[in-house]
Structure 1
Amino acid sequence: MASVRLTEQLKRVKEVLTTWKEVDGRVSNLCPRSGAAVSISTGTANACTDKITDGLVGFLSNTSSDNKWKDEYLGVNATVKGATEGKVTATDNGLKFEGVWAEWPVGRQGENQLYHFANYNFTLVATVSIHKVPKGNTRIPLMGVRLDDNEKTKLLELSYDSGRKWWVLCSDGTNKELKGTWDPQTQYQVAIVLQNGTQVSVYVDGKRVCGSVQRKLENTDSAGISHFFIGGDGGSADKKVSEDGVSVSVE
């Protein structure tokens, strides 16, 4: 038996708890406007329906440096991609992307996966605004989930186009054009949800626009989640957004 002083460790624990309490207060004050991209381990569609901090495990706001989008809860940071060609700037409560996007890792984090639960249950919520209508017929990815397989399959995706239409790629692989339209310079709360490893849903301003049964991710033949993508997916559409001068704010 040995006696070990844990003074520094206890100090760190107190600092973390203080940070969590401070961020809880900031997040609570964001309703009904929602907050930056929020990862919640439970399955709620609207971040402000209940107490927003219940089940909250990650919060991305307007703190970024060295291509890292900081998790204010000191958990898993997102990585900003394409910053050498595009542009990212801080807003009051989030980031403004122009030709860049962010990836929030799950399986991609490696052996120590703090968000492993996301393979079974998560809600990812963001308040977004698109500042300019893109040109051409290309659909621009806004937010989604990519699986950890050889094909880099998308589990689901919410995107927008030059006709100011919303599009959803559902878990059955079909693209669905939504009835509603989006307006430039207007804020929308968007959410993607996975419940019990099977039920996948997408919401825009609290209204479910896609809901379908997805195979169980705990099945050994099924790929887990690699990462969430926000503001783009790294495809050719992101380059077009940069060329057209289209930008998206994620708060």
Structure 2
Amino acid sequence: MSADGCSDPSVVEWKDNQLMMMTACDDGRRRVYESGDKGESWTEALGTLSRVWGNKHEGPEKGVGSGFITATIGNGDEDKRKVMLVTLPVYSSKNGKRNENSELHLWLTDNTHIVDIGAVSSDKDVTASSLLYNSGGSETINEELIALYEKKNGGGESSHSLWSARLTGPLQRVKDVLATWKKVDDIVSKLCSSSIAEGSSPDTVCSAGKITAGLVGFLSGNFSDKTWRDEYLGVNATVNNDEAKKKATKTSDGVKFQGAWAEWPVGKQGENQLY
């Protein structure tokens, strides 16, 4: 079913009756599995969500349960999109040394793009979390996203306490990110349409179906301070060999390199490897 050494499973139903399961594993990663037969068999979701997030695997907190839900969210009916929301502890680093006190962060993904929405609580040493989402839809019931989490009590005690936080700000940030994803999807789709209008070859990506399917990042004209920013708000590229900031210059739709280059840090992102 899952690899040896994996525990603390969280299961959600995704699109087309597909099940997704997140586990915390002793190898220091969180593995995600998917099932298309109601849980009879499971396959690791390599290339999408599996092994993206780290898992602290030393000490008594090595099995921190994650909040893991699906929801359909957007600023309007036309902009709504089914997504997965995840709460997990993030350990910040300073001067190359990891802080042993974690912060609980909310993550957003549509099984292609992944964005860290940010901290949902200033409390440290969270040992488990869950998420609750109410879509509202009436005059008396408002849309709400709530995080429920367990944390260790201070003073060397071994006991735990439960806390909740209403995530009004993070929920709006989720909607803003989804609006950006839709905007960038439209831009990329129009690029493909322009290519077709100019008579592109039948073997190009434009002839293979929806160009945005599986597209995890898009680098275009958002460039400054040696950083080429992902339009999908995911992982940015870093420009190298341009200390004087003259070898890489912004153009109307990208960056022009003359002796410099950009590096997209796949596999070099620290605790959480988004791609």
Q: TM-score, normalised by structure 2?
A: 0.36
TM-score (norm 1): 0.39
Q: Which has more radius of gyration?
A: 2
